[in-house]
Structure 1
């Protein structure tokens, strides 16, 4: 199966990148340090984006080295650094005495110590920092700009409207969340009567699953599970026939129990590689959200793969946290979390999944 085309987005002006940061991350960052890999001729193409919470001063050097290690996996020609923070200007820089002998001072942009540590960490890897930005209150500053537009009290407005970077993210299937907590909220389990009804459906489906295993064996049950997954994915395909429809609890429960068979789960990975990739992500999202623990582990793992292949590392991380919480000893989500933490490119993950699926048939 061919990898879907990835839009080639060229770096425009600095304000455009500042405006596109939420789309590059999948959510609106707050109090964050963001590194954007710049690739291609002259470092004009936006590549891997990594983010972390802004650290306390004592941890700045360690975090800078960690993020530098991650972003250089993309083999960047240069890196754009962005600090997203609502912190006010801090400190004061003394200047030569005025005519009357007094010292004048002016405020300084916040988090310059973090910027300095990132520049050092990337310089140690022979990767230059193209620009270092502060994004705050709908405006942006260049830490290295000496002109009045970047004075602490000034700044340049972040452009309104959709940039090519934002448009490409939306075309790739990204849905912008207000913050990282909003990403997690997409797969929060319901409570009340809905949760009770889903639990009852899972108990009933579990009894039927166990009976089929005893009566027919694992191979027959796996084949039925493959069919259940395929049917549910088809019901989630975008289009007028499925718009606004909700999978019945019994159908979700059947998929959840089917995914407890490792071969079914591994073959289900193939859905993220083909024409039903969007439908699969809808299915895994719905199954993860509605599944009781520990049945949520397998669909959360599959959701992480779908999001990762789409380039949405933030959603992949949220889904893997859910999968590991469901079963801390599960091997596959731990491996995926390690790969994501080490910035394994989606293309490499795609190749790995292709080999895994081929071994399941």
Structure 2
């Protein structure tokens, strides 16, 4: 499930076309085979997206899981009503999912204001069994044009967003070469308290410099960064710096790190990218980063924790940066 990407300008929604246009704006990409839920009346209104599985795999268990994934957070956050948009070319799959989701929402005390199935050319009302498909086109809608111009809508699909984190073969080769040239691998991953302290302080300084300057680290620096981040407490030195105020700069840093990382070193950078994206409010990017991390390390603790936060639509404000990453190190390793 994805939550909204970033604070978006206030838009007044007056029509069905407005709802269909605001959907990609909120997500940062054009949804396909997706259910998008917009909440109203919650303590902190949020929007979410979940994959719409093809009809042939629908069964009682899958539909119950799908319904719970959206209805539970809507109810827990106090939403009073939702709009549901089923972006799909398969009306039967949308109807099947809606038959499970709508009652689940109502059991949570959440009213369904509007439920549409839309395929980018026509839409129909799923709450009206006699609804006839109506044509629509929001490519030139003011909401969409504004989002494109401002850079908030940059991907044609979620798969395009996923591809935006694909490795850059040239940079990966340079980073691998820098690792060999510096002999970092010969020294192993930091383990001792003094080594963790020293590398953690270096990571702090390096990340602060990158965030302040906006410049990506050079190959040798990024190679060292990726290598020492394998030590969880050293990684925490970078994690502790990710704040909501500077989240965008952290996204740029860790996106570049993910694209330049060899496969065996990408997990920590992807986890940090995901955390920064969550702090920015970019749930779509956060989920993609979580998936990238878990593909490299299926047991990655921070990625699993972030996945739970996203799944339950926990707002970024619930977490504060600046925790003491040196906690637990012996006093002599902490500079005491």
- The TM tier, using the shorter chain, reads 0.7 to 0.9
Alignment-derived partner of residue 132 in structure 1: 115
Q: In the aligned structure 1, how far is the partner of 2:189 from the partner of 2:118? A: 58
Alignment-derived partner of residue 347 in structure 1: 317
Q: 1:30 to 1:174 in 2, by over 3 A?
A: same
**Aligned 1:2-21 pairs, distance under 5 A:** 10-21=12-23
**Aligned 1:228-267 pairs, distance under 5 A:** 228-235=206-213, 237=214, 247-267=217-237
Q: In the aligned structure 1, how far is the partner of 2:45 from the partner of 2:137? A: 21
Q: Does 1:162 pair with 2:139? A: no
Q: 1:76 to 1:287 in 2, by over 3 A?
A: same
Task: Summarize deviations over 1:235-291 as a string: whole Å, max 9, x none.
Answer: 4x2xxxx5xxx6431121132234234344223234431553322111100001111
Q: In the aligned structure 1, how far is the partner of 2:85 from the partner of 2:287? A: 21
Q: In the aligned structure 2, how far is the partner of 1:166 from the partner of 1:227? A: 40
Q: 1:68 to 1:206 in 2, by over 3 A?
A: farther
Q: In the aligned structure 2, how far is the partner of 1:279 from the partner of 1:302? A: 12
Alignment-derived partner of residue 297 in structure 1: 267
Q: 1:12 to 1:285 in 2, by over 3 A?
A: same
Alignment-derived partner of residue 338 in structure 1: 308
Q: In the aligned structure 1, how far is the partner of 2:82 from the partner of 2:7? A: 24
Bigger mean CA deviation after superposition, 14-23 or 328-337: 328-337
Q: In the aligned structure 2, how far is the partner of 1:325 from the partner of 1:136? A: 31
Q: Does 1:195 pair with 2:178? A: no
Alignment-derived partner of residue 51 in structure 1: 50
CA contact (8 A) 1:304 1:317 kept: yes
Task: Indicate the SS of the match to 2:179.
Answer: helix
Q: CA deviation at 1:10?
A: 5.0
Runs of 4 or more, structure 1, over 6 Å off, are 168-171, 211-214
Alignment-derived partner of residue 163 in structure 2: 185
Q: Does 1:67 pair with 2:37? A: no
Unaligned runs of 5+ in 1: 91-109
Alignment-derived partner of residue 187 in structure 2: 210
Query: How many pairs does the alignment contain?
Result: 318
Superposed CA RMSD: 3.5
Q: In the aligned structure 2, how far is the partner of 1:335 from the partner of 1:224? A: 26
CA contact (8 A) 1:140 1:158 kept: no
Unaligned runs of 5+ in 2: 1-5, 329-333
Q: In the aligned structure 2, how far is the partner of 1:211 from the partner of 1:62? A: 43
Q: In the aligned structure 1, how far is the partner of 2:173 from the partner of 2:282? A: 32
Q: CA deviation at 1:15?
A: 1.6
Q: Does 1:120 pair with 2:123? A: no
Alignment-derived partner of residue 30 in structure 2: 28
